[in-house]
Amino acid sequence: MECLREEPDSPVVRFWADFYGIKKEESEDEDMVPVYPGHQCDYEHIRTWEGDEFTLHLWCTFSTVRYGPQERLAYQLWDGDTLIFEGEDYGCSPLNAIDSDASVSALLSFLSLRPGDTDEDYFDSYNNKQIEWRDSGRAEELSFHAIELEVQDNDE
């Protein structure tokens, strides 16, 4: 997975950090920037969502998707101690805040898709662990959390 990277003090990173009110943590090492796990990217952790044994981490990549105005977020979905999905390709709706329940709900909806919900070739890139997880019923359980978040967001 290729990582689009801007220097920590580049105008692009400063613009988006100012726009979202993200402040670099003060430390003895001024060049220290939070890093997206497993990659050498300067992403800012913006939210952690937890539901039952599921944990979703979101990072701001300070970039947009290739063809559109959507913010491009990095994410990790954990089921207990097992990493199920990881990516840097989630383009959240420009109508919602990147750390909102609506953005989390939409991402959970994509990650919980099952056969019959979309075209069969959607799952071609899934590895064996992801297929087993999906078919075990855990994807369906995750989809209930997505629906719950969407309903809560609409009620507010």
Residue 90 belongs to some domain of the structure: yes
CA 26-32-36 angle, to 5 degrees, is 115
**What is the CA angle 36-42-47, rounded to 5?**
50
Tens digit of each residue's pLDDT (9 = 90 or more) over 61-106: 888 877 777 888 999 999 999 999 999 889 888 888 999 999 999 9
Q: Does 6 map to a domain?
A: no
- Measure the CA–CA gap between 39 and 13, rounded to whole angstroms: 17
Q: What is the pTM of this model?
A: 0.73
In a domain, 15, yes or no: no
Number of folded domains in the chain?
Answer: 1
The whole-angstrom separation of Cα 33 and Cα 43 is 8
Q: Which burial class, exposed, middle or buried, applies to 61 when counting CB atoms under 10 A from its CB (0-12, 13-18, 19+)?
A: buried
Encode burial over 19-29: b for 16+ CB neighbours within 10 A, e otherwise: ebebebeeeee
pLDDT per residue as tens, the chain (156 positions): 344 444 444 455 555 555 655 555 444 444 433 445 555 567 889 999 999 999 999 999 888 877 777 888 999 999 999 999 999 889 888 888 999 999 999 999 999 999 999 998 999 999 999 999 999 999 999 999 999 998 876 666
Looking at residue 34, its pLDDT comes to 41
What domain range is 94 assigned to? 43-155
Residue 100 domain-assigned (yes or no): yes
DSSP SS3 for 70: coil
DSSP states of 6-41: --TTSHHHHHHHHHHT--PPP-SSTT-----TTS--
**Any domain includes 92:** yes
pLDDT at residue 155 in the model: 66
108 domain residue, yes or no: yes
* Within a domain: 22: no
Task: Provide the pLDDT for residue 1.
Answer: 36
In the sheet where 82-91 sits, what is the strand order?
44-51, 54-64, 71-79, 82-91
- Check residue 7 and give its pLDDT: 45
Tell me if 119 is assigned to some domain.
yes
